[in-house]
Amino acid sequence: MADQRVLITGAAGVVGTLMRPRLRRDGRVLRLLDVTAQPPAAGDEAVELVTASVTDGDAMAKACEGVDALIHLGGHSRENTWGATLDVNINGTQIVLDAARSAGIKRVILASSNHSAGFRTVDEAGEHGLPADSTPRPDTYYGVSKAAIEALGSLYHSRFGMDVIVIRIGSCFETPHKLGVRGLTTWLSPDDGARLFEACLSHPSPGYRLIWGVSDNTRRIYSLAEAEALGYRSLDNAEKYAEELTAPASPAPDAKYVGGPFCSAPLGSPN
């Protein structure tokens, strides 16, 4: 069988680094793109390393050659200045999508974030969780950029028929510890993250989808139904860390919001 080539942007970031070993498959080549240098191939690891920015149209056009599917994780992953957010996250995503379209890539998976809906409240979640297509309520410039890429993905699907799946990722880290008690709600385990990306890569005909990226946490407030409709099954639950993560005596006022501390962080300040 011919190799499947999957291009991952932002491959040296937090999520990219966690996914690199987990998305390894026989018959698959991972083309890993980042602005920073990346560790070389380990043993017989089938990777191609590209050092480039998602804002560089020529480099993106080259990186998209011969690619079957694209996972776009690149961009600032937290709050930054408006200029940097506009340039790298919004403009960069348009450049990535356009390069994918020109190269004939049929399947694109975009990393959005819970922060596109950060000012939605925990009370809105209801019995099955907040629907994945809840209209944006961004909590930061970063959240605005994620809402914009959700719209860009929809545009490229509607105009060009590309399959575009946008994932509103909760918090994807090895464990939820650094997130405090909020992580018991928002955690996407790395193994579940890989299961989710595999579902996104293998669904026969997804069209445009907006889904949450979260583990089946006991305290989950995001709906899993939309991701499960693509074939995702979570096998992890942050609750196993509950005893190690204690709630503060008086919860912060922003704890009622999906975006938690992002909702009160200074706008436009890199952190």
Instruction: Please report how close the Cβ of residue 162 comes to ligand 15L at its closest, in angstroms.
Output: 24
From residue 60, alpha-carbon distances to 7, 23, 54, 96 in Å are: 10, 21, 6, 6
Q: Which stretch binds ligand 15L (CB under 6 A): 113-121, 131-139, 189-197, 211-219?
A: 113-121
Task: List the one residue from 80, 89, 113, 134 that touches ligand 15L (CB under 6 A).
Answer: 113
Q: Are 13 and 78 in contact (CB under 8 A)?
A: no
∠ Cα 30 166 168 (to 5°): 105
Helix, strand, or coil (residue 111): strand
> How many chain residues interact with ligand 15L (CB under 6 A)?
8
Give the nearest distance from C-beta 83 to ligand 15L in angstroms.
19
Q: Which is nearer to ligand 15L, 113 or 163 (CB)?
A: 113
Residue type, 149: I
CA distances (Å), origin 155, targets 85, 94, 164: 20, 10, 9
Q: Of the two residues 176 and 206, which places its CB atom closer to ligand 15L in the complex?
A: 176
Give the residue, chosen from 17, 55, 114, 223, that forms a contact with ligand 15L under the rule CB under 6 A. 114
Please state the closest distance from residue 124 (CB atom) to ligand 15L, in A. Answer: 17
Q: How far is the CB of 85 from ligand 15L (least distance, A)?
A: 12
* Minimal distance, residue 14 CB to ligand 15L, in Å: 6
Stretch binding ligand 15L (CB under 6 A), from 57-65, 107-115, 201-209, 226-234:
107-115
- What is the SS3 assignment for 20? helix
Can you tell me which of 17, 134, 145, 171 binds ligand 15L, judged by CB under 6 A? 171
From CA 163, how far away is CA 208, in angstroms rounded? 6
CA separation for the pair 160, 162 (Å, rounded): 6
Q: Does 186 participate in binding ligand 15L (rule CB under 6 A)? A: yes
CB 238 within 8 A of CB 182: no
Length of the chain: 271
* Binding residues for ligand 15L restricted to 62-91, rule: CB under 6 A: 77-78
CA distance 108 to 12: 19
Which residues from 26-45 bind ligand 15L, rule CB under 6 A?
none
Q: Which of residues 196-235 bind ligand 15L (CB under 6 A)?
A: none
Active site residue 156: no
- Give catalytic residue positions: 142
